[in-house]
Amino acid sequence: MNFASFYLTKYSAARHDDCVHAVLQMRICYMKTGSTIDFNHVCKRYGEVTALHDFSLSVEAGEFITILGSSGSGKTTALNALAGFMSISSGDIRIAGKSVADLAPERRNLGMVFQNYSLFPHMSVAENVAFPLRMRGVPRKDIDGKVRRALQAVRLDTYFARMPRELSGGQQQRVAIARAIVFEPPVLLMDEPLGALDLKLREALQFEIKSIQHQLGCTVVYVTHDQREALAMSDRIVVLRDGCIAQVGTPLEMYDRPCSRFVAQFIGQTNLFSATVDAPGYISIPGLGVSWSDARASSTAGSHFVSVRPEHLARRSCGDDEVRIDVTLDEAIFLGDVIDFSARHSSGMAVHFRESRSPSATQLHRGDAVSLAFSPRASALVPDL
Ligand SMILES: Nc1ncnc2c1ncn2[C@@H]1O[C@H](COP(=O)(O)OP(=O)(O)O)[C@@H](O)[C@H]1O
Ligand SMILES: [Mg+2]
């Protein structure tokens, strides 16, 4: 279970535009990988409330999986069930193929990081990080080296003597991460670990967490309500809605092929146009007065939405199969590299599109008539769920 070797070669802090990204360059060789995790039809009820409903998920060894959902959707319940902090109502959870039903939390050997740092306030940084090692009876002679390496991994090795109250929020959370990885757990659980931090610090720490996970090879189950964070960090994302899994997939799959109106709207920004699917083989958006022949229409029927991402609506041509809509510009929001436009169709329907910054894009103004096109191939047809 030990590192074969762990070398911290160097780190540097680089400034990109106005945004500080800590760049961690480390070379760590590990002999191990993370554990697989299997949730099999897990249910958790709190009295009348079903917090988790028929939750089944297999996580690969070394995978970074994110449970994404709004507040109250059951994310913490899923994580706590895995950690063993509460009993489940039915179903089974396996870590590395073994059922953990009868295993107390401390015997599951999981590293955990919570949103609210949860450092021991009366212990120094080094004592906090050493705590899991002491609990596990690691020989005293090995503790200092392990603590130093874990603190190096989060770039706080010079802070070992500080007390938690002498650290910023971001530094406290890095100590919490060091404490979670110091015993080299095969599984790391993180419940909204960056939720209390400001945007730039969050982005820097997202980068560090990914880097640490790559080096450790551990399996990470990460919980967030922030879809951008989920897209940025995950190998796969699980979208939870009212205790049920709405969709599981890679960030690209979730973004390009959402399975429902809910997921299309939850992940990324999109235009959702109410559509009718007409046999044989036509999709129409009555509100925009457009329709086109589409193979997807032959295999589906009923109330649907066409989801078109703002970056897939363009003033230029999108190819032979393009669908054109004429709109009038309302607002332009300059975001540096891109400009977000909100516009309105003559029917009153709002249309959002996005362009890279260019002389022609910066010259668009409120009231301008704009002809936009999208390719049906770049759209998703989603049921009204
Ligand atoms: N100890 C509890 N007793 C009763 N209901 C709870 C308890 N913990 C969570 N819940 C309920 O279960 C649902 C899911 O909660 P939780 O897993 O904390 O959601 P999330 O972490 O996504 O915000 C919510 O409706 C919440 O109110
Ligand atoms: Mg929660």
Which residue among 76, 225, 226 is best mutated to probe the pocket of ligand 1, counting the most ligand atoms within 8 A of its Cβ?
Answer: 76
Q: pLDDT per residue over 279-302, tens digit each? A: 678 999 999 999 999 988 877 777
pTM (2 d.p.): 0.88
Distance 266 CA to ligand 1 centre (A): 20
Which residue among 46, 79, 221 is best mutated to probe the pocket of ligand 1, counting the most ligand atoms within 8 A of its Cβ?
Answer: 46
Residues 5-13, mean pLDDT to the nearest whole number: 31
Q: Is the pLDDT of residue 95 over 60?
A: yes
Residues 313-329, mean pLDDT to the nearest whole number: 92
Looking from the CA of residue 73, the nearest atom of ligand 1 is: 22
Which residue among 66, 77, 80, 115 is best mutated to probe the pocket of ligand 1, counting the most ligand atoms within 8 A of its Cβ?
Answer: 77
In angstroms, the CA 162 to CA 122 distance is 11
Distance 38 CA to ligand 1 centre (A): 21
In angstroms, the CA 135 to CA 149 distance is 18
Gyration radius of the chain over CA positions = 24
The per-residue pLDDT for 303 is: 81
Query: Which residues is 369 bridged to in the sheet?
Result: 328
Q: In this structure, are residues 53 and 243 in contact, taking their beta carbons and an 8 Å threshold?
A: yes
Q: Is the pLDDT of residue 373 over 70?
A: yes
Q: pLDDT per residue over 114-150, tens digit each? A: 888 689 999 999 999 999 999 999 999 999 999 999 9
In percent, the amount of the chain with pLDDT more than 90 equals: 76
Q: In this structure, are residues 22 and 155 in contact, taking their beta carbons and an 8 Å threshold?
A: yes
Collapsing DSSP to helix, strand or coil, 66 comes out as strand
Residue listed under structure tokens 């939390």: 105
- What are the pocket residues of ligand 1 if the criterion is a CB atom closer than 6 Å to any ligand atom? 46, 49, 51, 69, 71-77
Alpha-carbon separation of residue 94 from 142, 268, 326 (angstroms): 31, 32, 54
DSSP state of 314: B
Which strands, in side-by-side order, build the sheet including 290-293?
290-293, 282-285, 271-278, 303-308, 380-383
Distance 200 CA to ligand 1 centre (A): 29
Question: For the chain, which domains are there?
Answer: 3-109+185-256 (3.40.50.300), 269-383 (2.40.50.100)
**For the ranges 123-132, 142-151, 206-215, 263-272, which has the lowest average pLDDT?**
206-215
The per-residue pLDDT for 97 is: 96
